[in-house]
Structures are given as C-alpha cells and as structure tokens.
C-alpha cells in the first residue's frame, strides 16, 4: 500500500466493508482523543493544525484516489471525514466533558455529513479534491454549531 493510500484511507479505516465514512470518523476521533493530553489552548491549536493538514491532504490526494478507484469521491477516501470530525470538535469544551463532547460530535458530524444541508450537497460538485473535501467541512460547521447549542442546553 502506498503512503498516499494509507493517508486517504486514514490508516485503513476507509477499507471498512460497511460505512467507511463512519469508520473514518471514528478513527479521526480516536486520534483526536490524544489532544486531551494537552492543555486547552494547545489542544485546540493542535486540532486546528490537524484540520489544516488533513484538509490540504484531502484536496491534494482526492484526484489520485478518484483515478485509482475510477469514480468520484470513492468510499475508501475518508481523510475528508477526518478534517470534518476534527472541525466539529474545534472550540468545544473537550476537556470539561470529553465523553459527551466526543460522542455527540461523532453523531452530529455523521448526521450532517450524510444529510448534507445546504450548501454542502451542492459543493460536492466542485472539481477533484475540492468537491470531496469542502462538503464535509461545511457539514462539520453545522455539526459544530449544533454541538454548541446542545452543550448550552445540557
């Protein structure tokens, strides 16, 4: 397996025979759990750096994945879910209630990524890696805002 494929499948999460996007999200949140070892400010800086890195990789690797798999946004390509899951966590009180925040982030991101509220669905039409990635980032913004609202209530 190439390094590129290892990255775009998020270390094999994308090979899940059922719901590879969900497996990629779970893998992303498992890695994001490591930021809990850092102080709050550093944790969010690390998440932001990770979002930038995975977004750049997703945009860059998207066309190669599409060529390799012979279709647009192949299921095994899940690094876009990684960027989205981490964006869902950005700015959240991850140190205060980590279990609640991570579980809610998982479900809210999966919901918004599947439903693709406007304009996320339309952004899938962008070419190459942009179309693969930007729709997940927009879904993550919705999930982040929903999570903020939910946490304000509970």
- DSSP code for 112: H
Q: Is 95 in contact with 32 (CB distance < 8 Å)?
A: no
Q: What is the DSSP letter of 18?
A: S
Q: What is the pTM of this model?
A: 0.94
pLDDT value of residue 111? 97
Cα torsion through 2, 35, 89, 40, rounded to 10: -150
What pLDDT, on the 0 to 100 scale, is given for residue 75? 86
Q: Give the pLDDT of residue 70.
A: 81
pLDDT at 73: 83
Residue 88's pLDDT is 98
Provide CB contacts within 8 A for 97, sequence distance 6+: 151
What pLDDT score was predicted for residue 78? 97
- List, run by run, the mean pLDDT of 10-residue segments along the chain (154 residues): 91 95 97 94 95 97 90 90 98 94 98 92 86 95 97 92
State residue 1's pLDDT score. Answer: 75
């Amino acid at each position: 397996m190439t390094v590129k494929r290892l990255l775009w499948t998020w270390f094999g999460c994308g090979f899940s025979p059922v719901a590879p996007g969900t497996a990629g999200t779970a893998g992303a949140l498992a890695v994001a759990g490591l930021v809990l070892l850092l102080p709050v400010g550093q944790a969010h800086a690390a998440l932001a750096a990770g979002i930038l890195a995975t977004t750049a990789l997703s945009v860059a690797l998207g066309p190669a994945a599409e060529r390799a798999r012979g279709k647009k946004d192949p299921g095994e390509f899940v690094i876009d879910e990684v960027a989205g899951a981490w964006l869902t966590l950005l700015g959240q009180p991850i140190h205060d209630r980590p279990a609640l925040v991570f579980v809610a982030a998982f479900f809210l991101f999966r919901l918004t990524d599947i439903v693709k509220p406007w304009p996320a669905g339309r952004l899938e039409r962008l070419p190459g890696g942009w179309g693969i990635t930007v729709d997940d980032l927009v879904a993550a913004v919705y999930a982040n805002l929903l999570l903020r609202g939910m946490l304000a209530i509970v």
